[in-house]
């Protein structure tokens, strides 16, 4: 069973990325026979236009995954653009891709509705994603709700190609982890860089404190009983703290006499207890940038070997070899 997943280096990762994706990806390495994890820098070019910002973001994502426990001995960990075969496969898949299918892509329509320029890169994004998945003959692809359609498109393109040119690609299955946390941001919406409501993973202690103490709350007085399940501070706290500690905070809110300021201080303590070991490992890795580059280079070399097998099969299928 081969698992493949990728993450865009579109900026500094945050607590929501860690709880919602990084932990689950690292845990999968113990369950799967084979894992290919990549940093999707080609995809990031649809949103990141500053070259140095992209380089920094790629390095930052690598640091985050390695600090979280990703083992390069168990996982093929690489940068997408270090495997150029993915671009040729994207073209080969494009010849069986109906324009109408891409026009219906939710992600494309959403981005255009929010003012993004309708570029070819944004429009053909699902074809590149399909090439990412099919190039490594992936069996399972962890997906969230926002990516399910892209996996459906990948399967559709693989079927079309196989029917037209002969059996070439493995059909991947979606995998939804048992416990994928939806992490609220400091304003109560889903934590997202787009909303500017994040709690940083790699920020300074001052930045972390500012974000947590700035969580938006209602105007209920200290003495009033409060419903913890509608409380952003508590929702984030229970994702970080041990269950018994979360239960204690919930009871304090229900009883009254417990203010949001005290709850935020408790959340700050829980953040450091849960994440300081990660932050220390990350700082140590950050001091050894060559080691991180070597890990990505070694992963890319392994990925290219697998990519060549699939690409040659696809080239033979269409008559280029």
Span 89-123, pLDDT tens digits = 999 999 999 999 898 887 777 787 878 888 899 89
CATH 1.10.240.10 at 193-284, yes or no: yes
pLDDT for position 71: 96
Per 3-state DSSP, what percentage of the chain is helix, strand, and coil (rounded to 5)? 60, 10, 30
pLDDT band at 161 (very low <50, low <70, confident <90, very high): very high
Phi-psi region of 257 (alpha: psi -120 to 50; beta: other; left: phi over 0): left
pLDDT for position 181: 64
How many angstroms separate the Cα of 181 from the Cα of each of 22, 251, 260? 11, 22, 23
**Cβ count within 10 A of residue 288:** 10
pLDDT for position 259: 95
Kindly report the CA angle at 198 between 113 and 177, in degrees rounded to 5?
Answer: 80
Domain ranges of the chain: 2-181+289-318, 193-284
From 31, 74, 109, 111, the catalytic residue:
111
193 is catalytic: yes
111 is catalytic: yes
pTM value surpassing 0.95: no
pLDDT at 308 exceeding the cut of 60: yes
pLDDT at 58 exceeding the cut of 80: yes
CATH number among 3.40.50.620, 3.40.50.300, 3.30.160.270, 2.60.120.10, domain 2-181+289-318: 3.40.50.620
From 74, 160, 193, 245, the catalytic residue:
193
From 74, 160, 190, 209, the catalytic residue:
190
């Amino acid at each position: 069973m081969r698992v493949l997943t990728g993450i865009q280096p579109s900026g500094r990762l945050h607590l929501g990325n860690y709880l919602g994706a990084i932990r689950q990806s690292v845990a999968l390495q113990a369950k799967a026979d084979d894992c290919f994890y990549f940093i999707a820098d080609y995809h990031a070019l649809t949103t990141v236009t500053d070259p140095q910002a992209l380089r920094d973001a790629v390095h930052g994502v690598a640091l985050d995954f390695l600090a979280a426990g990703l083992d390069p001995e168990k996982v093929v960990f690489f940068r997408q653009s270090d495997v150029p075969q993915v671009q040729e496969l994207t073209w080969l898949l494009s010849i069986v891709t109906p324009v109408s299918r891409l026009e219906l892509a939710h992600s494309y329509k959403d981005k255009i509705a929010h003012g993004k320029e309708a570029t070819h890169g944004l429009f053909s994004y699902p074809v590149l994603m399909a090439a990412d998945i099919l190039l490594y003959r992936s069996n399972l692809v962890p997906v969230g709700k926002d990516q399910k359609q892209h996996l459906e498109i990948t399967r559709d393109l693989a079927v079309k190609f196989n029917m037209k040119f002969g059996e070439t690609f493995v059909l991947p299955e979606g995998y939804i982890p048992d416990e994928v946390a939806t992490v609220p941001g400091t304003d109560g919406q889903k934590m997202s860089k787009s909303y500017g409501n994040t709690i940083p993973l790699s920020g300074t202690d001052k930045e972390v404190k500012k974000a947590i103490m700035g969580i938006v709350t209602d105007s209920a007085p200290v003495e009033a009983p409060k419903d913890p399940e509608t409380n952003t501070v508590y929702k984030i706290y229970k994702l970080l703290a041990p269950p018994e500690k979360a239960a204690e905070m919930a009871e304090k809110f229900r009883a009254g006499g417990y203010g949001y300021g005290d709850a935020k201080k408790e959340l700050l303590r829980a953040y450091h207890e849960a994440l300081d070991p990660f932050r220390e490992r990350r700082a140590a890795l950050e001091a050894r940038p060559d080691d991180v580059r070597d890990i990505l280079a070694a992963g890319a070399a392994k990925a290219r070997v697998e990519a060549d097998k699939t690409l040659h099969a696809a080239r033979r299928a269409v008559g280029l070899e």
